[in-house]
Amino acid sequence: MDMREKKLNGKVIFDGKVVKVELDEVLCPNGNKSFREVVRHHGGAAILCVTPDDKILLEKQFRYAYDEVIYEIPAGKLEKGEDPYQAALRELEEETGNKAEELIHLTDVYPTCGYSSEVIHLYLALNTKKTKTHFDDDEIIETYEVPLDEAKEMILDGRIKDAKTIVAITYYLMKYKN
């Protein structure tokens, strides 16, 4: 059965710097009509940086929507049409002062499929070189090196709650440390 919904009509509610919000009326395959609230987003790139002694880079950053300081791997949003690989290289260096010669693609993750179009591209960085950080004007980030085993504990006890961070760490463990 074709599960697709057809757009009947739609309007742009808000066109911001980060998100574009649309409200579409759709026809469901069972003949019912419904509305879909869609948050359009250009996507993001996030980097799991693992040191030779099995530590990972974790950032602490205040996240306004949660009113909370949380742990995350380095990440940044893409400009429209931007190559996620290049964005990942740039964000890793700007936010942590670590330059990677190359990145390994881990997987792509759909953070919240019910209303957002965002895709987060996850990469692995090994053997990075120290350079220097370069933050945006409204970006305040502290970076820590955390042993992989400790990061695993932080997921299990709920200290790490960020989805891309949990997916990157557990994906890496499953693929490379099993």
8 is an interface residue for a copy of itself by CB under 8 A: no
Using CB under 8 A as the binding rule, the residues of this chain from 74 to 133 that contact a copy of itself are: 77, 107-120
Report the distance separating Cα 57 and Cα 162, nearest Å.
Answer: 14
Candidates 36-44, 79-87, 90-98, 123-131 — which segment interacts with a copy of itself by CB under 8 A?
A: 36-44
CB 57 within 8 A of CB 74: yes
**How far apart are alpha carbons 108 and 95 in whole angstroms?**
21
Site for a copy of itself in 124-143 (CB under 8 A): 137-138, 140, 142
Q: What are the residues whose beta carbons fall under 8 Å from the beta carbon of 98, sequence distance 6 or more?
A: 49, 57, 92, 125, 128, 129, 130, 131
Does the footprint of a copy of itself cover residue 156 (CB under 8 A)?
A: yes
Q: Does 11 bind a copy of itself (CB under 8 A)?
A: no
Q: Is the Cβ of residue 28 or residue 127 nearer to a copy of itself in the bound state? A: 28
Q: Is there binding between residue 43 and a copy of itself (CB under 8 A)?
A: no
Least distance from a copy of itself to the Cβ atom of residue 69, Å: 5
Cα 62 from Cα 95, distance rounded (Å): 14
Q: How many residues bind a copy of itself (CB under 8 A)?
A: 72
d(CA 75, CA 119): 12
Q: Toward a copy of itself, which CB reaches closer, 53 or 113?
A: 113
What 8-state DSSP symbol labels residue 116?
A: B
Piece in contact with a copy of itself (CB under 8 A), picked from 48-56, 70-78, 84-92, 123-131: 70-78
**Radius of gyration of the CA atoms of the chain, in A:** 18
Among 131, 149, 170, 177, contact with a copy of itself (rule: CB under 8 A):
170
